[in-house]
Amino acid sequence: MATTRHLSRIIGPDGRTVILALDAPAFATDIAGVDRAVHAVPQMVSHGLDCVLVPKGIALRASSYLQDVGMVLRCDTVTDIYDGSIPGTFIVNDALDAVQVGADGVVVMAFPGHDAHPELQQQTTDLYKGCRKYRLPLIVEALPFTFVGANEAHRDPKNVAVAVRLAAELGADIVKTRYSGTPEDAVIAADATVPVVALGGPKAGLDGYLEFVRHCIAAGAAGVAVGRNIVQDPHPVAKVAALGAIVHGDSTVAQALALYEDVAATD
């Protein structure tokens, strides 16, 4: 098993987590706000941020900003950076790389139902072996069929639940996946056996997004892993504070909005 020390750097003592996803440069051409957010991590930590998810380059270049936060190394990247659908991924780092950059865990994609899933499953298995050697937690980002929730089957919470359980059986200590925002999301974490973290979420106004996060927590998620909804917010530190209030403090949306305004006013 992964060490309690490393897991405690990713998930808080209440069993919940707010993760800042800074891995856009490994998967997308739109990386607006990422570097600004990196520099703001120390302030975010004081407002409820538990962990950052980074590619190796950021882990190396920005280490001075990441000293007091949990850090997870993104071990894969997209096969075609110019294709926003993320047609496939491949491994570029392993558990030893994570140890060398001081990371507390690793994360990798898996797409059950995709033609390439057997290869991705083998990649996950290989990472699992390395994680156990170095006693690091393994996070699997498990999404049915493809990264993009392009149709009903991809977004169906029942299919998501199957992907989550498969990732747990492959050795994941934490699973990151999509939530639909519907009552059916309750099935996703019901039989997961490990903490489930809701990824990203919809492009929505501030109040609508915070409602989505409250929904995920109520549906059994242990937290959220958020990229553009933090890094492209006009006030990323305030956004983290609002998320932290909901995830760690069970705040209402109204309370989280008020906190956002208070913190934003001090930027």
Per-residue tokens: 237? 């530190």
Q: Give residue-wise pLDDT tens across range 30-71.
A: 999 999 999 999 999 999 999 999 999 999 999 999 999 999
Q: At what angle do helices 236-249 and 253-264 cross, to 10 degrees?
A: 150
What's the N-to-C CA distance of the chain in angstroms?
41
- Cα separation values, 159 from 55, 102, 153, 179, 265, Å: 28, 35, 7, 11, 42
- Domains, the chain: 4-264 (3.20.20.70)
Spell out the alpha helix ranges (H) of the chain.
4-10, 34-45, 56-61, 95-100, 117-134, 152-155, 157-169, 186-190, 206-218, 228-231, 236-249, 253-264
Instruction: Output the pLDDT for position 94.
Output: 97
- Say what percent of the chain tops pLDDT 90: 84
- Token representation of residue 29: 């051409």
Q: What is the CA radius of gyration of the chain?
A: 17
At 216, the pLDDT band (50, 70, 90 cuts) reads very high
Q: What's the whole-model pTM score?
A: 0.95
pLDDT at residue 123 above 90?
no
Size (the chain), residues: 267
What integer pLDDT is reported at residue 45 of this predicted model?
98
